Amino acid sequence: MKRLDTQVGIVGAGPAGLLLGHLLHLEGIDSIIVEDRGRDHVIERVRAGVLEQATVDLLIEIGAGERLRREGMRHGGIYICFSGRHHRIDFEELTGGRSITVYGQNEVVKDLIAIRCATGRPLYFEVEDVRIADFESAPRIAFRKGGEEIAIACDFIAGCDGGHGICRSSITTQRLQTYEKLYPFGWLGILAAAPPGSRELVYSLHERGFALFSMRSPSVTRLYLQCAPDEDLTAWPADRIWDELTARLASDDGWCPNRGPILQKGITGMRSFVAEPMRCGRLFLAGDSAHIVPPTGAKGLNLAAADVWTLSRALAAWYRDGREDLLNSYSAQCLRRVWRAQRFSWWMTSMLHRAPGAGDFDYRRQLAELEYVTSSRAAMTSLAENYAGFPLQ
């Protein structure tokens, strides 16, 4: 068996694990990252794509923002569409200049992997059978790589292994309180080779259900439509998808999304989930391993970034000054932001989807809410400040 030592053992090379690794590197703290999938899979996996102002600022500050600055698409607001009309919410004007940036999560991951490799610090892909042990006292991570058994002894473990990882499930259920809400619908998402026909995102509530217009580049559009959680993708040939997107997103003045070849399609489930506390002994959970939000508020990646920023501050204070207070307040500090984002994501989701079984009353109430949200400055400001996101603190 091969034995390795490090200060922080990081499980998972998604945005949370990779960003934490780099934040620790900048503090002079050693880490080893282990990831059970291959590098190409991690880079190519299409996920969300909206970065809050604070996430963009952080990536730039740590030197991971070069391509983001060049290729990221800065948006000063979004459109909300209902009853055939598009209404703009101007984030910059309502929040004193904050904006969002559209840049695929897989691009963030690609940039962070390149930075990690440039530091020369270890990042193991395609490891098997990852286990963690003794995280109350002397933490260890064990795994196999190419048939060899490897054990890492570390001071702390960061569980950045997403919603289906092993870190959260290694904590006995009595030590965790979990909160969950399942939504009775999913999203059918496509990536299409079509130039985006709107400069900004369009969130739409239509009689036939929710639809979202987004983008990845000047030549690639990303679109979603509400479907059943167990929708059969084979029942959705390209024409049906485009007709449904057009019906749900088009405005009375003739706008509709540009069509093009579909490059990728998939179904995403919708779930809200929180595990508390986000720490057990010397194991700290961060990102999707601790909490899942439905994608409507575009918060998942941003919450992961805020968690690991908070954790890196706490670990730095511990290594530098022997201070434990920030490690002790890590969970509570993250959970405040997490629940605020949960509330916002739930609210956006409920306002913009048609739940099966909900009647005409609910639909009319949703339209009234949208009318209010797009006309009252107070309501627009609330949406704008939550969507553009709050500073890291």
Residues that bind ligand PHB (CB under 6 A): 48-50, 201, 212, 214, 222, 295-296, 298
Site string for ligand APR, 310-349 (x = CB under 6 A): ----------------------------------------
User: What residues contact residue 359 under an 8 Å CB cut-off, 6+ apart?
Assistant: none
Angle among Cα 386, 389, 393 to the nearest 5 degrees reads: 125
Half-sphere exposure of 361 (CA within 13 A, CB side): 2
Total residues interacting with ligand APR, rule: CB under 6 A: 26
DSSP 3-state of 311: helix
Residue 88 sits at φ, ψ, to 5 deg, of: -90, 135
DSSP 3-state of 72: coil
Interaction of residue 166 with ligand APR, rule CB under 6 A: yes
Q: Which residues pair with 38 in a beta bridge?
A: none
CA 240 to chain centre: 28
Choose the stretch contacting ligand APR; rule: CB under 6 A; options: 113-121, 296-304, 349-357, 370-378.
296-304
Which residue has its beta carbon closest to ligand PHB? 214
Compute the least distance from the CB of residue 37 to ligand APR, in Å: 4
- Residue pair 271/180 in contact (Cβ under 8 Å)? The answer is yes
Cis peptide before 277 (omega within 30 of 0): yes
Beta-carbon count within 10 A of 172 CB: 8
Please identify which residue in 285, 301, 370, 380 interacts with ligand APR, judged by CB under 6 A.
301
Interaction of residue 106 with ligand APR, rule CB under 6 A: no
Angle among Cα 368, 369, 373 to the nearest 5 degrees reads: 120
Q: Which does 165 bind (CB under 5 to 8 A by kind): ligand PHB, ligand APR, none?
A: ligand APR
How far is 232 from 235, CA to CA, in rounded Å?
6
Decide whether 17 or 242 has the Cβ nearer to ligand APR: 17
Active site residues: 75, 203, 295, 299, 387
Decide whether 98 or 222 has the Cβ nearer to ligand PHB: 222
How far is 220 from 200, CA to CA, in rounded Å?
13
Q: Which does 53 bind (CB under 5 to 8 A by kind): ligand PHB, ligand APR, none?
A: none
How far is 226 from 288, CA to CA, in rounded Å?
22
Span 109-148, contacts to ligand APR by CB under 6 A: 130
Interaction of residue 200 with ligand APR, rule CB under 6 A: no
Interaction of residue 285 with ligand APR, rule CB under 6 A: no
Nearest CA to 170 among 131, 117, 127? 131
Decide whether 25 or 222 has the Cβ nearer to ligand PHB: 222
Interaction of residue 297 with ligand APR, rule CB under 6 A: no
Please identify which residue in 13, 68, 102, 270 interacts with ligand APR, judged by CB under 6 A.
13
- Residue pair 107/67 in contact (Cβ under 8 Å)? The answer is yes
Interaction of residue 49 with ligand APR, rule CB under 6 A: no
Decide whether 17 or 196 has the Cβ nearer to ligand PHB: 196
User: What residues contact residue 388 under an 8 Å CB cut-off, 6+ apart?
Assistant: 52, 53, 91, 95, 98, 99, 100
Span 230-259, contacts to ligand APR by CB under 6 A: none
Q: Which does 296 bind (CB under 5 to 8 A by kind): ligand PHB, ligand APR, none?
A: ligand PHB
Q: Which does 37 bind (CB under 5 to 8 A by kind): ligand PHB, ligand APR, none?
A: ligand APR
Chain contacts with ligand APR (rule: CB under 6 A):
11-17, 34-37, 42, 47-48, 105, 130, 160-162, 165-166, 287-288, 300-301, 304
